[in-house]
Each structure stands twice: as structure tokens, then as C-alpha cells.
Amino acid sequence: MRVFHDISEVRLSEAYSCVAIGNFDGVHLGHQALVLRAIRASREVGYAPFVMTFSPHPAEILRPGTVTRCLTTISEKLLRLERLGLENVLVQRFSFELSQLSASEFFSRYLVGLKARRIHVGNDFRFGHDRQGDTEVLRTLGQKNGVTVEIQSEVTLHGERISSTQIRDHIKQGRIPEANTLLGYPFFVSGLVVKGDQRGRQLGFPTANLAVAEPKLLPPHGVYAGRVHWKGRVLPSVLNIGVRPTFGGSPKPIVEVHLLRFQEELYGESLRLELVKQLRPERKFASKDELVNQIRQDVQIASEMVP
């Protein structure tokens, strides 16, 4: 998959493109339906399939100081898009200057710039200064420029609207199975394994500490059953997210994972940790022995839950 970071970098061998536009945080089932439809449409007419998305989140530019916790970092979003079979992505840097463009200016600079002849968006799509452009404005601009605009209707599952906002709420509340259902895949965190204080090893349960890229959304502090993806292997695991209150606490959350029946060294390796279910909230134990006994129970439950 080719990734471009500015419209000026884009060079297409095809005459025209078919573009799906959106923030696509999480690349959930609704996003997947939109992108897959755009890919199918592009193949029917011989256009280049394209996704246009943005970084950083617009709120961080429009409301300085805002930190938007995302379901997927940019690299994670690109991984999910590539798995859909997408060939081209424009990750356009969102800037104050871009936010000031009118809907017509945005269309001319970016969609004409991408040689779009088909555009696919969700029914809540907004664009242009102060979000003045909606799907009807997009249709009108498309008609004037010979561009077909397809609006995807709302996607639901079991009567529930699928949205990044709803999934983020599930994650914030620790409702991992519900989030996974709407995502269409297990929610995951990824990053490099870094050196920790060896606390897990001292307790008899060595852990890999993960450096998670900002601004990743993390679930509530606690212990989770999960899976680790590493070099083509899928390994059951127990994941801890928290500040280690039993040992005095840490200034910021630590993400660490104990891989079941695994002894290899992982420092410097890149891991993807899929979350299956929260086992318990984080809490302070009265002693090290009490904590070790609880970890043994966590490992037993996780081994039964994630074979």
C-alpha cells in the first residue's frame, strides 16, 4: 500500500481515482463497508482506489490543548486499511490553513487534485470552514465537476449504530467484547518492548513493557485476557494496564503483558496486543504474596478464556 502525506506527493498512473474520505478512527465495521464499497467501485471502472484521511485530529488544531484519544494511531489505522486490500492512502496533515478552506476550495484543492471521479462518504460527512459543507453540498460540487458522489447510509449491528464515539465509550468503560463486536476485530494496542523495572520477573511472572504511541485510547486500569501477535505467532497473554499501586504507584499508566508458556526475549521487538475481556480492575494488595496469588488466578482464567 502506498502512503502519501500531502496532496503534492500524489502521483497516479491511472487516469482517475475513486476516493473514500473520512477520519476513520478505528476502521470499524461501518468504515470497512464504506472503504470496501469504494474499492469495488474503483475496480469496476478501472480507477485508482484511494482513502483520504487526516492527522492530527481536527479538534487538536481547532481547540489548541485538546488531546483526542483515538482508537487507532496512524500506523494502526494504516494497518487496518491495508488489510482491506486498499492500494493508496493520503494521510493529509490537518492544519489551521486547511480548516479555513471553504467547501468549494477544499473540493478543488484535494478532490480535483486527486483526480477523483467517484467519491464515497458517510451520511454524516462534513467539510469546509466551520463544517459548512454537507453531503448535499458535496453532491452539488460533484455534479458541477463530473464527479459521482455516493453517500453510505448509517450502518447498524443488532439495532445499534456503529460509530467511533460509541466504540470509544465502550473502551472507556472496559466493555471490550462490545467494542470488539462493533470494530469487527479485537481492539488492540501496539508498540515496542522497552526495559522496565523487572518487577514482574521478581514475582515469577515476567512481563514485556510496551511503549504505546500517543494519543492512543486505553481502557480502564485493570487486568485483561488477550493475545499477543509477534512474528506470525499468536500467543495467549495476561495484560495489565495501570500504575502498580501495590508498589507505590507510577506517574503514568504502564502497559505490560505476561505471555503464557513463553520464555523468549522480547526487548526491542514490536508487539500487537489484542484485548479479549477485562478480568478485574486494578487494586492495591496488602502484600506481595497476596498479589502473586491473584496473578496466578488471573493467568489460570486467561489460559481457559484464550486457548
Q: Where are the alpha helices (DSSP H) in the chain?
A: 29-45, 58-62, 74-83, 96-99, 103-106, 135-144, 164-172, 176-183, 199-203, 288-305
Query: The domain 2-161 belongs to what CATH superfamily?
Result: HUPs (3.40.50.620)
Contact 302, 260 (CB under 8 A): yes
Q: Which helix (H) or strand (E) holds 150?
A: strand 148-152
Residue with cell 500500500: 1
pLDDT of residue 66: 83
Please provide residue 55's backbone torsions phi and psi, each rounded to the nearest 5 degrees. Answer: -155, 135
Nearest to 21 by CA among 110, 129, 143: 110
- 256 catalytic? Reply is yes
The H or E element that residue 160 is part of is strand 160-161
* Contact between 50 and 18 (Cβ < 8 Å): yes
Closest to 243 measured CA to CA, from 260, 220, 259, 224: 220
Active-site residue among 256, 264, 265, 269? Answer: 256
pLDDT at 8: 93
**Assigned C-alpha cell, 17:** 481515482
Euclidean distance between CA atoms 285 and 167, whole angstroms: 31
Q: Report the top-level CATH class of 186-305.
A: mainly beta
The amino acid at residue 91 is: V
The whole-angstrom separation of Cα 244 and Cα 207 is: 13
> What backbone phi and psi angles, to 5 degrees, belong to 73?
-70, 170
Q: How far apart are CA 299 and CA 258, in angstroms?
A: 9
Residues of the chain with pLDDT under 70: none
Write the pLDDT tens digit of every residue in 233-246: 999 999 999 998 98
Q: Per-domain residue ranges for the chain?
A: 2-161, 186-305
* Residue carrying the nine cell digits 504474596: 289
Q: What is the pLDDT of residue 204?
A: 76
Which residue type occupies 136? Answer: E
CA distances from 104 to 90, 92, 112, 121, 135 (A): 19, 18, 11, 16, 13
Instruction: Please compute Rg for the chain using Cα positions.
Output: 22
Query: What is the number of other CB atoms lying within 10 angstroms of the CB of residue 261?
Result: 7
For the four alpha carbons of 4, 48, 84 and 67, in that order, the dihedral sign comes to: positive
pTM: 0.93
